[in-house]
Amino acid sequence: MSSLMMAQDILRDMPRVIVHQDSTITRLINDKIEGRERQAVEIQGYRVQIFSSNRQQTAKAEAFALEKRLQEMNLSENIYVLYNPPFWKVRIGDFRTQEDAQLLKEDLITRLPDLQGDTYVVRDKITVME
């Protein structure tokens, strides 16, 4: 048996790892290799708002506690804690379409039913890579 055939037999019996990654990552790597830089720009889009309060004593702490809870869920979307006096808000995502934001809203309500009454799709300036 030739050494090439022996090597093929060894490789065939070895465990394999399959990596699934977002196409954005591949595009960013290729852009970097080819010397193209992408820039973040703000456009009109949609986010999912899950918290808004103007209670001076508790709103800030509640917003950051909710942000921590969401981070522990390992969401793939960006989480934003915003202060628009007198309101503290928590919003999620950077969606170009209302339909995409609606899908996240439905997923969040399923995973966090206690937030159902406070969860809305809102129009907002979003950050996207161009």
For residue range 4-60, what is the model confidence (pLDDT) as tens digits?
A: 666 666 666 666 666 666 666 676 777 777 777 767 788 999 999 999 999 989 999
Please check whether residue 127 is in contact with residue 40, taking contact to mean a CB–CB distance below 8 angstroms. Answer: yes
Query: How many other C-beta atoms lie within 10 A of the C-beta of residue 89?
Result: 20
Q: Indicate the domain borders of the chain.
A: 40-129
Look up the pTM and report it: 0.69
Topology of 40-129 in CATH?
Alpha-Beta Plaits (3.30.70)
Residues 6+ apart with CB under 8 A from 76: 22
Rg (CA), the chain: 22
